[in-house]
Structure 1
């Protein structure tokens, strides 16, 4: 009988956790760019910096997280970098080695340093902490699962705790505009999560499900997206290129 109660307890906890992941984030995020349509990557970047113009004038350290092998997201990041530099040029442009960017992209971003965010966290933390201590501006380009504050205990979380860095973050993810498109999400929302990324996947899925009924299928612009504030200095950008 005790075994039965234990099993029931585990199921209840699992279901409760899943419901929290599915519904909790909707109450915590703050829309900054509502569902919108964009003609170009530059237009996306301009929209982001325009809506945050006053805030960005006071900040000089940034992380931008992307999904692996999403070239279209790299184009957006490039334009966002250029927009951010209009306020203050970056002293350091740092790329996570794990992204394995081509030489062409490294040149486009004008990369000054490379780091192993996951595999050499202490060195990354020391470098970024020193940059902030000396008042230098920087941009780190890494994976979304490392930059999203939703994932407790991830690389950003650890660096903030141990090295006291305080960057502004933008974490990009694919925007599934239908239930069928959720199969293309790299980090799905599921109860049996062995990777530790379900909280991020559920945040993306929850926002997408809440918003996609408003999608205008007749709009011909190639990009559709939105942006929410998901932390003190953290933003989630959902994008889909048709």
Structure 2
């Protein structure tokens, strides 16, 4: 009887592994910018602006997510903000998460901790909007994405009734073999696997997008990326530094 139980357990584990590696997992995004390679992160930021021009005009509050310690993510948003200078589209106020490295590449910006100073952030956004000012908030992607139920963005929405457009950047695996060790890990909602960090939904969105790129060419010295829509006002950029890029 023990042998039957052991065989059954192995079968369950094998089936779960097959599912994770070969079956589409939720949430599955809608591609807005197909896989492309650019010379600089700023080039991709300009592509994002062109693609989401209408959405940006209709969003006086925007959350721009980055992967901490990755300067190319900051450079991408620098290109986006520097190009976005048209009246009715540009953002007048820039708020920055103080723990993020490389924030000095932006010439201006007030530093507010979104997670620990949420009331102050909400008040600042409200005052800016009363003055008819448009607000951009640069924070870690795990704060900005709408995919994570209990993250700072969703707390800000539920507790302070402040919403906005979110565009978050994440790194992505370039082969199926890399999925098993990739972080954040994909954990499907309702699965038996543990998700103590609460980032499983973001991990699944990254994997789904990354699987569209595994057969694509990777050129040395460039940057690779694509953009997926993962919610009504939520977008996910997958952006990697290729080998030998500056």
The TM-score bracket by the shorter chain reads 0.7 to 0.9
Contact 2:43 2:76 (C-alpha < 8 Å) held by counterparts: no
2:127 to 127, 130, 141: 130
Distance 2:84 2:60 in 1: 9
Which has more helix, going by share of residues? 1
Q: CA deviation at 1:194?
A: 0.7
The residue number in structure 1 matching 2:6 is: none
Contact 1:96 1:117 (C-alpha < 8 Å) held by counterparts: yes
The residue number in structure 1 matching 2:155 is: 158
Cα RMSD (Å): 2.6
Distance 2:199 2:209 in 1: 16
The residue number in structure 2 matching 1:213 is: 214
Contact 2:141 2:169 (C-alpha < 8 Å) held by counterparts: yes
Secondary structure class of the residue paired with 1:171 = strand
Contact 1:33 1:226 (C-alpha < 8 Å) held by counterparts: yes
1:123-182 Cα distance to aligned partner (Å, 9 max, x none): 222222332343211111100000011101211011112222222111000021113444
Distance 2:215 2:115 in 1: 38
Q: Where does structure 2 lack aligned partners over 5 or more consecutive residues?
A: 1-8, 188-192
Residues 1:140 and 2:137 are matched in the alignment: yes
Distance 1:235 1:224 in 2: 17
Secondary structure class of the residue paired with 2:213 = helix
Distance 1:149 1:22 in 2: 20
Q: Where does structure 1 lack aligned partners over 5 or more consecutive residues?
A: 1-7
Superposition map of 1:78-117 within 5 A: 78-87=78-87, 88-99=89-100, 101-102=101-102, 105-106=103-104, 108-117=105-114
The 1:171/1:84 distance shift into structure 2, 3 A limit, reads same
Greater CA drift, 140-149 or 164-173: 164-173
Contact 1:173 1:237 (C-alpha < 8 Å) held by counterparts: yes
The residue number in structure 1 matching 2:116 is: 119
The 1:37/1:97 distance shift into structure 2, 3 A limit, reads same
Distance 1:31 1:140 in 2: 24
The 1:164/1:130 distance shift into structure 2, 3 A limit, reads farther
Q: CA deviation at 1:79?
A: 0.9
Contact 1:38 1:221 (C-alpha < 8 Å) held by counterparts: no
Superposition map of 1:34-45 within 5 A: 34-45=34-45
TM-score of the aligned structures, taking structure 1 as reference length:
0.80
Contact 1:173 1:239 (C-alpha < 8 Å) held by counterparts: yes
The residue number in structure 1 matching 2:238 is: 238
Contact 2:26 2:201 (C-alpha < 8 Å) held by counterparts: no
